[in-house]
Amino acid sequence: MDALILSFVVIFVAELGDKSQLMAMTFATRFRFWTVLAGISAATAVVHLVSVAVGALVGVALPAKLISVLAAAAFIGFGLWTLRGDKLSEDEEGKARSQRSAFFAVAIAFFLAELGDKTMLATIVLATDNGWFGTWLGSTLGMVAADALAIAAGAVLGKKVPEKIIRTGAAVLFFLFAAWLLLEAILA
């Protein structure tokens, strides 16, 4: 249960201001909410299953203290990445609008967008030290929840809350997670 909650929170925060949320908003302007959400859910479940498998293998091979230090460094990187922000390229935005099968268009676009993305890397890091099933379920639910929020609230909040405030808040949370992991490594 701890792995599920931790993974949900970390991935939810990681997804705030991410390119995936921008893609979700773009798809939502063209396709129905539930179709976009189903495509995101399918792609996320597959990518995060691969991520926890990789993380579990790495976790077996490395000592816990080293994993905590590496995870802290990764979260600092995620914080900096979040501050930088993501934008859809014209090509990515065009793909979001031009596919015929909405579900497959969303699922394929999200699958490809998440390969090597900070949420995939964060899931790998979390799986090195936590149970694979809780990490997989929590990370998948966290990403889907964040993207559902983007779809549902994007039109309203996008006009009222500056993206810079959302990105800064998410980055601060990543830095706090990094500090917590470093403290855990020092005290272990």
Give residue-wise pLDDT tens across range 36-59.
Answer: 899 999 999 999 999 898 888 876
Written as one string, the DSSP assignment of 136-188 is HHHHHHHHHHHHHHHHHHHHHHHHHS-HHHHHHHHHHHHHHHHHHHHHHHHH-
Whether 156 shows a pLDDT value over 80: the answer reads no
What are the structure tokens assigned to 91, written together?
């090509």
Name the more confident of 139 and 175: 139
Rank 28-42, 136-150, 154-168 by mean pLDDT and report only the highest.
136-150
**Distance between the two ends of the chain, CA-based, in angstroms?**
22
Percentage, residues of the chain above pLDDT 70:
74
What are the structure tokens assigned to 48, written together?
């995060």
Rank 43-57, 64-78, 115-129 by mean pLDDT and report only the highest.
43-57
Task: Supply the pTM of this predicted model.
Answer: 0.66
What's the pLDDT at 99? 46
What are the structure tokens assigned to 16, written together?
């705030």
Whether 126 shows a pLDDT value over 80: the answer reads yes
Name the more confident of 97 and 73: 73
| SS percent in the chain: helix, strand, coil, step 5 | 85, 0, 15
Cβ atoms of residues 111 and 43 within 8 Å: yes
User: What integer best gives the mean pLDDT of the chain?
Assistant: 78
Percentage, residues of the chain above pLDDT 90:
18
Per domain, the residue ranges of the chain are 2-187
Q: How confident is the model at residue 81 (pLDDT cuts 50, 70, 90)?
A: confident
Per mean pLDDT, which range of 66-70, 110-114, 156-160 is the poorest?
Answer: 156-160
What's the pLDDT at 98? 46
Q: How confident is the model at residue 145 (pLDDT cuts 50, 70, 90)?
A: very high
